[in-house]
Every structure is written in structure tokens, then in C-alpha cells.
Amino acid sequence: MPPTAVKLDDYRAVAPRGAVDFLVRMGERLRGRRFVHVSATRYGGGIVETLNRLVPILNDLGIETAWDIVIGGADFDASVSALGKALGGVEQVIPPERLERLRAVSAANVPRLALDADLVVAHGVAPLLLVDARPSSGRWVWAHPSDLSSPQPGLWPALRSSVQRYDAVVLSLAKFAPPLPVPRFLIQPSIDPLSDRNRDMSRAEQAALLDRLRVPRDKPILLHVGPFERRRDPLGAINVFRLVRKHHDARLVVAGTGPGEPDVLAEAREAVGGEPDVLVVELPPDPGLEINALERAATVVIQKPLHADFGLDVATAMWKAKPVVGSLAGGIPFQIVPHATGYTVDSVEGAAFRIRHLLSNPELIGRMGAAGREHVRRNLLITRHLGDYLALLAHLTS
Amino acid sequence: MTPDSDVQPFVFLGCAPVRELLGHEARDARELAAELARVPDESTFCHTAGGLLRRAVLPEAYPNDFAQWAGTELHDRRLAERLALVDMFDAGSLEAVRSELIGVLEDHLRHAPGPLPRCQDEPFSFCRLHVVPVPSGHQARTLAEFRDALAEVDASALFYHLVEARYRLGRGRGDFAEWVAAMGRPELADRLARVDPFVGSLERIRDRYLAALDEAAERPRR
């Protein structure tokens, strides 16, 4: 669902003290600069959701900001998807002709796009090759928040000449960075505290949503949120719960988002069998409000993917003041402050041990939850992300 | 004593950080010492004082990235504790803090029993911090105005005037203390300059400054 119009002022109640005023001042300093974002689509989560919020705010601040998308056919979309997976290290078949077709579609898009700007940010794989036809003025940045550290062998040499045409690359974590001859900046993704997934919610609204999902609230809820995909390890969450349940009367909710992998959903259902204290919930499309209600109802949140990108599901749970027990995958260790906002663990047993510890010490749950919310407020809100973009614009175009 | 009206108003500047990855990485203490000797001073700043801009909520966390990495990635608590005690704010210069860090690492390497622990997950990735100063919109002509503005400004203004100004730009005891001294309050300036940025977060430093200013406002001026 497209976000409702939100002004920067609306964030005053949730951003750190003085942060919104400072963003306004930064905007004044950069007024008149032209900032262009290009991505694959305008619909979806991740950076697209962030841009839906930030582009109008940047314009309100006086920075002329445009956002456009790369248009291609089904073959282009499939090639972009394959290239994205290959850059993430998942083996794909990408013959040179496929890359050439990608270059041709990118070149065909260039005349349609208004790329004359002080700073152009190409988000993700789809607009990567636009840089081959970049104008001589302005600075260009490629932003790719996912892991680029172990791409499919042979891929970088084919892309290197294009990536080198950028003035800089923006990554989310140092450990995701490939060696590149251009400056590499670090900007972490963020959550929007005013989105459906994160906004405040009345008890009545929360209860109605949980009733609709048929989630009872008679016991402490352990929550696992994520697509039914093997790499997200929903079966691992069920195994964690079985170890916890020996000692605590609790309930596990495994809530699945997105299309996922049908066989993993079937395996999860089979693993649960008839256990009444494990609920496998298939969330509707666009499930922001439902996840919001579930996270608010949870006592502890489990995020233990085997492989992850930045993994903002951790931050959204912490924003609801919930301790998170998470694996060491992707950006999860960056978000959890061990022993302060939750725990990072290496195994099913480790997760079970930490959850048992939390359920046995309920005062810790409140303390860690509060610390987690503050940690997110300072480091992982969209207001920080806006400041990072303004700083990048100032730094690269001064 | 300088009359307040002769002193330029204090203009608060916040700062927006841009963090840049350098190409240097370390996987054990020996590599950390070797790379520390190679990276620019700015990187030492980024991983010590620069941490205040993104300090975690954990008050007992190690106060610099080197100690944090030694603790979490190398699981070498002794090294982490020793690196934690290297005080950027006490060392006097970026070169001095770098020497002190390398000294700790070399001494540790000389006395470390057995093979060196190597990181399993994340190597230490050296960064540098670019800081873009921006007026926050707050100005102060009197101590009362200064106190009120200090309570409101973005925390990055504290970083800029206390850390960036003092330790990277070499501006005396930091901008706050220097301005307060120019306002004819040397004792208060001394007290502000003694607030130790080594422990805690920018918010904690703000609280200490505000406490000192509130106390000074209640006390008659000598």
C-alpha cells in the first residue's frame, strides 16, 4: 500500500532530540541541489519503501529530488533477478549475451530518464548499467545493501568496467563489501516508525488483528517472522520452541510473509503436527499491520536465518521494545547489542538457552526491550537514513 | 573580566558523518597492529572518538572499535581490556593514540601464549569518518541562552564542538569551554573542559554539561 503523505515534522515525536531540526538545517544548506534516485520499481519493501517516504520529504526540504525506474521487459526483469542472485553468491547461468541485452535495455532507458543532477543514486541491480551512458556532470553512486562479498566467480570482471564508472558505492555493512577501486561508503538501511508495520497501535486495533489471525494471548508468545524459505529457518524456530517448552508454558507463532517456498511451508506444518501451542500463520499480502500486532503481542522475537542480508526484521521487533534472539547472519549482529537488547546465538540450543533465560527473568525482558527501542531510535530510524543521504549529497557535491 | 556583550555569540554546528571504508583489514592482533601503522590518522579517530556518534546503548561496552573487535571477534578479553583503556581524549594527539594502541598490541603479541586467535566472522575493517558541519540554527549570547540551546541541539553538535574541534581540529579545550572562558567564566570553563568524554554517550556528556551550567547559574558569580 503506498504510504500516506508524511511530513518531516511528523517524526519529531519519535526521532532523537534535536534530530528533525538538524535535518531541516541540512536541507537549507543543500537547497537547490538536484538529487535523482533510480530503482527497479516503485512498489515493495526495502529501499523502495524508504524512497516512497524520503523523496517527498527531500523535496519539502528544498532539495529537488526525482525518483525514476528502469523499464524493461520480462527478459530484463529475469536477467536482473539472476544477476542479483549471482552477485549474492547464488550460482546462475549468465552468458555474455544476457549481460549485453541488459546493457542494451539500460542504454535505451537513458534518454527517457532525467539524469542531469548533482547526485544520482542507482539503487540495486536494475539501474547498475545506466552508468555506462552517464553524463559528464554530476556525481553517480551505486547503492547495493545486500552482500556483495562472495559473488559468483567471473561476474565482477564482466561488471567491473561499469562499477568503476561510479564515483562511489554505498554498502550497508563492511562485511558485504567487495574490493573496488572507487570509494565505498557505509549507510545502513532503516525502518520507518510511521509505517503500518511500525506505527503506534491501540490495544483494540491490535486485538482485532490478532483475533483475525486467530492468535490467542493466554501465554507468552515467541514470534518468528519471515518468508517460509529454507534460509530463514522456520523449522529451526520450531526446534528452539520444543526445547523452551520443556520448561515454560509458552506459544510459538511462525508468521510467514511473501510467497516463500511452498515445500518449506508444508514442512513447517508437518513438523508442527497437531501441537496446539505452535501456530503457523500465513500472513496476507502487504502484512505490515498484522506483523505490527504480532510483534507488539510477542514476549521474545526469534530471528535465526541461516543466511541474511541486513535483516531489518530485527529492528522492527526492537522498535516494539521486544528483546530479540538472533543468529549471526548478515546484519543481525550489527543490530542486536548482545546482553543489552537481546542475544546473538550460534545454534538452536543457544537460542533456546537464551529464551529460557529471558522467560525466567522477566525483568530482563522489559529492560532489554527498552534498550532495544532506544538503540533503534538512535541508529536505525529513517530520520538517520535521511541524514545519511544529505551528508552524502553534501560530501560528494561540495 | 570580559563583558558578555563583547564576545561573539556562540553558533552551534551539528555534523553529519559519512563513513568510508578503507581497503585495510585485519584478522588477528598482529595484522591489527600492522594495519594500524599504515592507515591515516583519520581512521584512528574514526574508530576511537568517532564511536561516540554511533555509541550503542550498552554503557559497559568497550569504548573503541579495536577493543570491541578484540572482545567479540577474537574472544581475547585481555587484549580487549587493554585496548579499552587507551584513552583518545587523554592521549593528546591522534598520532599519540595510534602509538599507544600499537604499543598495547605489540606488548600483547610479545607475551601472548600459543597461537594467536583469528576472527571467525568479521575482520576488522578500517574506516574513516568525513564530517560535514552544518549550523544547527541555535545561537547563544548569554550563558542562559547557551544552556537552553545545549539542551535542544542534535547530539552531533556536542560531537562537533567537543570532539571534532578539540581532537581533530586542535581547538584548545573544545569550543564550549573556550567560549565560556571568553565570557569571563574561567572556573566554569575549567569544569566543562574536565568533563570526561571517555565514558558514556553524547547524551551523558550533554547531561554533565547541563548540570555544570545549572549549578553555575545558581551560584553567585565571583
Q: CB-CB: which of B61, B122, B152 is closest to A175?
A: B122
What pLDDT score does B57 carry? Answer: 56
> For position B221, what pLDDT does the model report?
53
Confidence of residue A4 (pLDDT cuts 50, 70, 90): low
pLDDT of residue A5: 82
**Alpha-carbon distances, residue A355 vs A162, A300, A334, A347 (angstroms):** 47, 7, 20, 12
Q: CB A337 to CB B16 under 8 A?
A: no
- Tens of pLDDT along A136-161? 899 999 999 999 999 998 888 889 89
Residue to substitute from A12, A20, A25, A176, interface B, most B β-carbons within 10 A: A25
The pLDDT of residue A40 is above 70: yes
Find, among A158, A121, A161, the residue nearest to A142 by Cα: A121
Query: All 3 cell numbers of residue B92?
Result: 593528546
Separation CA A180–CA A197 (nearest Å): 36
Nearest CA in chain B to A389: B18
Question: Mean pLDDT, to the nearest integer, of A200-216?
Answer: 97
Report phi then psi at B122, rounded to 5. -110, 125
Query: Chain A residue closest to B24 (CA)?
Result: A179
On chain A, the residues whose CB falls within 8 A of the CB of B72 are: 338
DSSP string covering A161-227, please?
HHHTTSSEEEES-GGGPPP-SS-EEE----B-TTSTTTS---HHHHHHHHHHHT---SS-EEEEES-
Distance CA B183, CA B17 (A): 30
Residue B1's pLDDT band (boundaries 50, 70, 90)?
very low
Write the single-letter amino acid at A178: P
Residue contact A333–B21, C-beta within 8 A: no
Give residue ranges of A with CB < 8 Å to any B CB: 16-19, 21-22, 24-26, 29, 171, 174-175, 177, 179, 183-187, 328, 333, 337-341, 371, 374-375, 378-379, 387-388, 390-392, 394-395, 398
pLDDT for residue A176 is more than 60:
yes
Confidence of residue B5 (pLDDT cuts 50, 70, 90): low
At A279, the pLDDT band (50, 70, 90 cuts) reads very high
Compute φ and ψ for A191, nearest 5 degrees.
-115, 155
Crossing angle (nearest 10°) for helices A382-397 and A47-60: 70
Q: Whole-angstrom Cα distance, residue A161 to residue B97? A: 40
Closest C-alpha to B168, from B30, B46, B5, B12: B46
Looking at per-residue pLDDT, the higher value among A224 and B87 belongs to A224
What pLDDT does residue B51 have? 87
Chain A residues near residue B125 by CB distance under 8 angstroms:
174-175, 177
Answer whether A18 sits within 8 Å of B152, measured CB to CB: yes
Percentages of chain B per state (helix, strand, coil), in multiples of 5 = 55, 15, 30
The pLDDT score that the predictor gives to residue B56 is 57
- Are B121 and A333 a contacting pair at CB < 8 A? yes
pLDDT in the model for residue B2: 47
CA nearest to B56, candidates A389, A338, A344: A338
The rounded percent of chain A whose pLDDT value lies above 90 is 86
Q: Which residues of A touch B123 (CB under 8 A)?
A: 175
Q: Among B88, B194, B67, B157, which residue's Cα sits nearest to residue A18?
A: B157
Q: How confident is the model at residue B53 (pLDDT cuts 50, 70, 90)?
A: confident
Residue B82 pLDDT > 50, yes or no? yes
B56:A340 CB<8 A: yes
Of B57, B135, B156, the CB nearest to A337: B57
- At residue B4 the predicted structure's pLDDT band, cuts being 50, 70 and 90, is low
CA B132 to mean position of chain CA atoms: 16
Chain A CB contacts of B18 below 8 Å: 185, 388, 391-392, 395
Residues in A touching B153 (Cβ below 8 Å)? 18, 21-22
> What is chain B's mean pLDDT, rounded?
89
Q: Is the Cβ–Cβ distance between B11 and B176 less than 8 Å?
A: no
The predicted structure's pLDDT at residue B54:
76
Task: Test B153 with A375 for CB contact under 8 angstroms.
Answer: no
CA distance A66 to B9: 39
How many angstroms separate the CA of residue A183 from the nearest CA in chain B?
Answer: 7
- Per-residue pLDDT, averaged over B91-103, amounts to 91
Backbone angles phi, psi at B184, to 5 degrees: 85, 25
Contact across the interface for B132 and A175, Cβ inside 8 Å: no
Q: Are B19 and A177 within 8 A, CB to CB?
A: no
* CB contact at 8 A, A99 and A158: yes
Q: Number of Cβ pairs closer than 8 Å across A and B?
A: 98
Q: Tell me the mean pLDDT in the region A338-354.
A: 95
Instruction: For chain B, give the percent of residues with pLDDT over 90.
Output: 67
- Checking if the pLDDT of A378 tops 70, the result is yes
**Helix or strand or coil: residue A249?**
coil
Query: How would you class A322 by CB atoms within 10 Å of its CB: exposed for 0-12, middle for 13-18, buried for 19 or more?
Result: buried
Name chain B contacts of A394, Cβ cutoff 8 Å. 16, 132, 134
Rounded to an integer, what distance in angstroms lies between the CA atom of residue B190 and that of residue A370?
A: 36
pLDDT above 70 as % of chain A: 99
The distance of A58 to chain B (nearest Cα, Å) reads: 16
B73: closest CA of chain A, how far (Å):
11
Query: Which residues have CB under 8 Å from A83's CB, separation 6+?
Result: A92, A94, A99, A102, A125, A128, A155
Largest CA distance in chain A: 66
Give residue-wise pLDDT tens across range A295-332: 999 999 999 999 888 989 999 999 999 999 999 999 99
Q: Which chain B residues are closer than 8 Å to A184 by Cβ?
A: 20-21
pLDDT at B149: 97
pLDDT score, position A359: 97
The nearest CA of chain A is from the CA of B205 a distance in Å of 14
Question: How confident is the model at residue A199, as a pLDDT?
Answer: 97
Predicted confidence (pLDDT) per residue in A243-270, tens digit: 999 999 999 999 988 677 889 999 999 9
pLDDT of residue B115: 87
